Structure 1
Amino acid sequence: MADVLIIDVWADNVHEEFSRIRDVVHRYPYIAFDTEFSGFVNPSDSRAGARIYNGHIKANVVSLKLIQVGLTFFDEFGNSGIDFEKNHTKGVTSQTLADSLTFARLVSNPAVHWVTFHGTYDMSYLAKPLNGCTLLPDPLSTFLSMVNRIFPNFYDAKHMVHHHYIWTGGLSKLARDMGVQSSALDMHQAGADSVVTVKAFVILKKRVIKRVCVGECNRLLYGL
């Protein structure tokens, strides 16, 4: 998989770009995504247990704003279509993003597969406007039901590698351990990180998902 061009999407071209996305999603039904947000008001640690960890996540997501989203579209072999990056501060609101994702038939669509790395915050920040709420639901089981309704198929690459290899670390470490070669490795922006997530996931899929039941990895978030 070669490096792909990142397309910046702002308020003045968001509808045009999501129209393009809607046209290609049937050919590239896998979506790797990453979010950038404005820090933390409550520390969160997945080692604290799922319920406590989820409570910290919800407190942060409700209190803070989404700054940037990166989406990379690819097929099951890792061939990439459009790579999309959006900066919230330039005028694309979270609700516009949610409406655009819905328009492009990317959510609540069982034909689409979402891919993330340690995706609890990523899923939560997208689920909030997509669910039309300012608060995320309690208890944990209700929150996970909401996530599964919005994202019928998703893979968390950190859960995959931790579950099968007892591995710890961040996205850059995983990419390097998996032998990913990409100029995006050192950029650390949402669009670039989604590119790296694609490449790491494709390698993991060849090494892990072909050897185990897909159901063991599908719809499971790291830490929850």
Structure 2
Amino acid sequence: MAMSYGAVMTRSVWSCNLEAEFELIRRVIKFFPFISMDTEFPGVIFQLDPAFRQPKNNYAMMKANVDRMHLIQVGLTLSDRHGNLPTFGTSNRFIWEFNFCEFDVTRHLHASQSIALLQSQGMDFHKNQSFGANIMRFVELLMFSGLLCNNHIHWITFHGAYDFAYLVKEVYDVKYLIKFCPNLYGGLDRVSKSLGVVYGLEMS
């Protein structure tokens, strides 16, 4: 299949069109299973001395940053194996930009240089706060979009540790996820027993 070369248009997603845009994604995901992701967040406030950059310390530093800050924006590009993007029957090609409302630049932790860079690129933090999507509603729709728990999907990032850290932080809270599963309720022990989870191996 030849690659299409129409103009690439960004579909900006806010609270008012979040559901509609996820419906579009659900319609085309089986045809465009390669997902490129990028995130925008308020920078890195905790730094690690280069002398201590072992994997365990790197993870702890990243977790400290992700736990203390808010996701601002997620960019998603869906493509097929030939690099074609969804066209929805037009001459253009489309990618997505999800904007979130939780970050308040006047009171939340952030790295000043990162904020200045985002503003220089056109980021309007007041607009995000006023019209951005709720991150938990985004998570609900993401769970049923076909983008997750799908063996046919391939995720692509560039230097993506923080991208996945922010996304996983929002998505994989088991206590939250069981709300979507009929007949699963209660604490972790009860849920584990309902699912037949074996806690450990018997030693012979």
The TM-score bracket by the shorter chain reads 0.5 to 0.7
Residue in 2 that maps onto 1:56: 61
Q: What are the Cα deviations for residues 79-137 of structure 1, in whole angstroms up to 9, with x where unaligned?
A: 11241001112331221221121121111111111110111100010001111279xxx
Q: Which residue number corresponds to residue 85 of structure 2?
A: 80
**In 2: Cα distance, 1:133 partner to 1:64 partner:** 21
Instruction: State whether structure 2 residue 157 is matched by structure 1 residue 116.
Output: yes
Correspondent of 1:130 among 171, 177, 181:
171
**What percent identity do the matched residue pairs reach?**
37
Contact in 2 for aligned 1:71/1:84 (Cα 8 Å): yes
How many Å separate the matches in 1 of 2:77 and 2:173?
A: 24
Within-5 A mapping of 1:147-166: none
Residue type at the aligned position of 1:95: M
Which letter does structure 1 place at the counterpart of 2:171? Answer: L
What RMSD in Å do the two structures reach over aligned CA positions? 2.1
In structure 2, list runs of 5 or more residues that go unmatched: 87-93, 101-127, 176-204
Structure 1 match to 2:113: none
What's the TM-score, normalizing by structure 1? 0.56
Q: Following superposition of structure 1 onto structure 2, how do residues 126-205 of structure 1 map, counting pairs within 5 Å?
A: 126-132=167-173
Partner of 1:40: 44
CA distance in 1, matches of 2:78, 2:171: 19
TM-score (norm 2): 0.61
Give the SS at the match of 1:13: helix
Q: Secondary structure at the match of 1:5?
A: strand
Q: In the superposition, relative to structure 1, how do residues 55 and 6 fare at CA in structure 2: closer, same or farther (>3 Å)?
A: same
Which structure has the larger Rg over C-alpha atoms? 2
Check 1:133–1:91 CA distance in 2 against 1; reply closer, same or farther (3 A cut). farther
The aligned length equals: 134
Contact kept in structure 2, 1:44 and 1:57, CA below 8 Å: no
Question: Quick check: which one's helix share is greater?
Answer: 1
